[in-house]
């Protein structure tokens, strides 16, 4: 039974890897059909989100001691 379970888990991990590869291929195939402007706006949105998170983290780190003192 242990052999069957290991084979099953191995085959399920292979299936997951195949699904991930298919998803990556689909994403890559869609990228060329986007216009330059769409690609740029997508990148800008990503960067804005990253900067927002960074700002929130910095604010939290700078202000955490102020809440502890109150």
User: Does 25 lie in the same domain as 49?
Assistant: no
Q: Give the tokens for residue 40.
A: 């740029």
Measured CA to CA in angstroms, residue 20 lies from 1, 8, 33, 51 at distances of: 29, 18, 21, 28
User: Does 22 lie in the same domain as 10?
Assistant: yes
Q: For 1, which DSSP code?
A: -
Task: Count structural domains, the chain.
Answer: 2
pTM, two decimals, is 0.44
Q: Give the tokens for residue 32.
A: 């060329």
User: Does 39 lie in the same domain as 62?
Assistant: yes
User: Does 44 lie in the same domain as 67?
Assistant: yes
The range of the structural domain enclosing residue 53 comes to: 35-70
pLDDT tens digits in sequence order for the chain, 70 residues long? 445 545 555 577 788 888 888 777 766 655 566 899 999 999 999 999 999 999 999 999 988 876 666 5
């Amino acid at each position: 039974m242990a052999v069957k379970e290991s084979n099953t888990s191995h085959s399920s991990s292979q299936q997951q890897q195949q699904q991930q590869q298919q998803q990556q291929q689909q994403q890559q195939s869609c990228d060329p059909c986007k216009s330059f402007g769409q690609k740029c706006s997508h990148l800008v949105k990503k960067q804005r989100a990253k900067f927002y998170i960074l700002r929130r983290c910095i604010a939290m780190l700078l202000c955490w001691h102020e809440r502890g003192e109150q």
